[in-house]
Amino acid sequence: MPRKAADNDSPDDKLRVVSLKSIAKLVDAHRASVRRWLTEEGIRPVAMSRTRNSAIRYRWSDIERWLREREEVE
């Protein structure tokens, strides 16, 4: 599970990626819902390779920003 990043992000935090499954578990929602929310917010996934069955991940910095914005709304 991703750790909370500090205010002073290191360069490694910029490269950190997280799976859709982990994000769904973090927000306690179905993966399809999380995928839809991220798409609506314009957060694009990152393919880990160029093959057909490559792993799809999301940048942790984008997810962390999205989570902070959700907290402000709720």
Asked if 14 contacts 61 with a C-beta cutoff of 8 angstroms, the reply is yes
Indicate if the pLDDT at residue 1 is higher than 50.
no
What was the pLDDT predicted at 16? 92
Within a domain: residue 6? Answer: no
Give the pLDDT of residue 49.
86
Residues 10-67: pLDDT tens digits? 566 668 999 999 999 999 999 999 999 999 999 999 988 888 888 899 999 999 999 9
Residue 56 maps to a domain: yes
Residue 13 is predicted with a pLDDT of 63
Specify the number of domains making up the chain. 1
Domain that holds residue 17: 12-73
In this prediction, residue 8 has a pLDDT band, given cuts at 50, 70 and 90, of low
Which CATH number belongs to the domain containing residue 56 in this structure? 1.10.1660
Q: Which residue in this structure is represented by tokens 């769904």?
A: 24
Instruction: Judge whether 5 lies within some domain.
Output: no
Residue with tokens 């940048």: 59
